[in-house]
Structure formats: structure tokens, C-alpha cells
Amino acid sequence: WPEKGAVCGEERLSQCLSEHLSQCLSERLSQCLSERLSQCLSEHLSQCLSEHLSHCLSERLSQCLSEHLSHCLSERLSQCLSEHLSEFLSERLNVFQHVCQNVCLNVCQNICQNFCQNV
């Protein structure tokens, strides 16, 4: 009997464990993990992030800028120049022509008036 009882008890124990232990463990473990994780995160994450993130960001940013900024700027600048420079130049040139015409006209009129008065 005792041997049979031990076997029976062992079977019952393994059955009980297989039914309840995994559920109990998963519940307790997830609760424990979430508690420990939140504690660990609140203690160390901000410090760790501030130490490594700023360093990593500055490295990545400088690398990204050196790789892409000059290329991007030259493209954008050439595009902007091609779009606006000719328009700007034509406007300036028109203004310059008008000023020149007016100055020339005034000079010519003055010369003519002086000549006519002297003659």
C-alpha cells in the first residue's frame, strides 16, 4: 500500500502541477517582471538614455549632416537659383535700363540746352 500510495500521490502531484503551476507561474512571473521592470526602468533608464542617446544622436547627426546636407543644399540652391534668379535679374535689369535711360535723357537734354543757349 505505501508504495502504491506514493505512486498515486506522485501522479496526483504531477497532474496538479501541470494544471495549475504554469498558470500560477505565468501570472506571478508577469506581475513580478512588470514590477521589477518598472522599478529598474525608473531607476536606470533616464540616466542611461541621457548618457548614450545624446552621444549617439550627436554622432549620427553629424554623420548625417556631413553625408546629406551639402548635397541637399547644393541641389536646393541650384533649383532655387534656376527658379528665381532669372526673374530677379530681369527685374533688376529693367530697373537699371530705366534708370540709365532717364539719366542719359537728362544728360542729353542738359547738353542740348547748354549748346542751344550758347549758340
Angle (CA) 16 22 26, round 5°: 145
- Please state the rounded mean pLDDT for residues 35-46: 75
Q: Is 118 left (phi over 0), alpha (psi -120 to 50) or beta?
A: alpha
How large is the greatest C-alpha to C-alpha distance in the chain, in angstroms? 154
Residue 52 above 50 pLDDT? yes
Q: What is the pLDDT of residues 58-114, one digit of tens each?
A: 788 778 777 777 777 788 777 877 777 777 777 777 787 777 777 777 787 888 877
Residue 3 above 60 pLDDT? no
